[in-house]
Amino acid sequence: MENTQKRVGVIGGVRIPFCRNNTAYADVGNFGMSVKVLGALVERFGLHGVELGEVAMGAVIKHSSDWNLAREALLSSGLAPTTPGITTARACGTSLDNTIIIANKIAAGQIEAGIAGGSDTTSDVPIVYGARLRKRLLAMNRAKTPLDKLKVALRGFSLGELKPSFPGVAEPRTGKSMGDHCEQMAKEWHIAREAQDQLALDSHHKLAAAYDAGFFEDLLVPFRGLRRDGFLRPDSSLEKLAALKPAFDKSSGHGTLTAGNSTGLSDGAAAVLLGSDAWAAQRGLKVQAYLRDAEVAAVDFVHGEGLLMAPTIAVPRMLARHGLSLQDFDYYEIHEAFAAQVLCTLRAWESADYCKQRLGLDAPLGSIDPAKLNVHGSSLAVGHPFAATGARIVATLAKLLEQRGSGRGLISICTAGGMGVTAILER
């Protein structure tokens, strides 16, 4: 059968600066940030009044009223109101997933163009109450008369029912946070604290250099007085990082993950425009790079596998489909949830035992050139609003490939729930 899939072009992306929670965007929320990045994308590519095939946005932490955040945000973005919108969530992989969703529709010929992105805030979080109060309120709503409602409200009521519950960061299946799980991974793979701090420092220095070189001028739209990411510390040093205390394993004396080599709670949003060659040409737009393939995998972290190791499985599956080796890339964008997680991933690909026993390979995937890894910094320096990171990375890598003129880039993102989302971009 003839392959009728269309090539999927990444035309460009924008984001707002990412910042620490409870700072510049504390009162904006996911809707406001999503409108900002979608509106900026509309402005940049002249999409006022244009009907796109789909807008896929996402948010991990959102209010129930944001059940279709994508549709509501696009209605305020300048796009034609006849543009559909879908809202998704897969933790840290959300907006890379959305990129895949849009790309698959374009490749299949179902649509010609669309936008993928995501937004997250840990400042404006949904606050809920316990089951007893929830059941009481529902019973009051069912009661017929005001007197019956009053009886339900007062019967057996205690002030403890008013205690709010905030969103947790623990894995429901294990009760452990992502940081706790990553500490276990660091110990299993013997990742030293010094190596983690060095990777974090490199991320800050590379991001600062990219800003100074003007790389982000067309990728970033100023917002709420911010023109750079609020996490960036260009004056950081190994000495400063070494002085930080462990953030998760605080009692054993062997904890290595700190606030300096782990991503902080972040607010932000990002989006990318995708389209077929014909659509881009019709509108006079240039394609920066093409999305060649993607792969998602999961691990059994409940029974011992590392929570954030799923990309180590997804990547070789994707490479095998195309007859590529791990070294056949000019850029590697590996999301820095934790410095230890990146280092565990690299060490696993270098391990003959892991590659044979877990991946079923005859030989290790091998090492990569460190000079090609996260060349303009990544999440440790940029920040990590969960659902926005994937779109940030896609936009960054597409521009890198455009500037280079040709090449291939690998994207690897670990997620909560023991999953990984990966992709290949080419030019």
Active site residues: 92, 384, 414
Opening angle at CA 44, ends 393 and 26, nearest 5: 60
Please state, in angstroms and as integers, the Cα–Cα distance from residue 152 to each residue in 160, 163, 252, 406, following that order: 16, 19, 49, 69
Q: Is the dihedral of CA 96, 100, 106, 107 positive or negative?
A: positive
CB atoms within 10 A of CB 71: 16
Burial of 288: CB neighbours in 10 Å, binned 0-12, 13-18, 19+: buried
Cβ neighbors of 284 (< 8 A, separation 6 or more) are: none
Q: How many CB atoms lie within 10 A of CB 300?
A: 8
- What does the buried/exposed string (b/e) look like for 176-211 if buried means 16 or more CB atoms within 10 Å of the residue's CB? bbbbbbbbbbbeebebebebbbbbbbbbbbbbbebb
Backbone angles phi, psi at 55, to 5 degrees: -120, 120
Q: Cα–chain-centroid distance for residue 26?
A: 19
Residue 35: burial class (beta carbons within 10 Å; 0-12, 13-18, 19+):
buried
The radius of gyration computed from the CA coordinates of the chain, to the nearest angstrom, equals 22
CA angle 26/92/111 to nearest 5° reads 100
Specify the DSSP class assigned to residue 177.
Answer: B
C-beta separation of 292 from 322 below 8 A = yes
Q: Which amino acid is at 165?
A: S
What whole-number distance in Å separates Cα of residue 63 and Cα of residue 354? 41
Which tokens hold the place of 18? Answer: 């990412």
Ramachandran quadrant class, 332 (left: phi over 0; alpha: psi -120 to 50; beta: rest): beta
* Centroid of chain to Cα 110: 26
The residue with tokens 């997680």 is: 341
Q: At what angle do helices 193-212 and 339-350 cross, to 10 degrees?
A: 110
Maximum Cα interatomic distance, the chain, rounded to a whole number of Å: 75
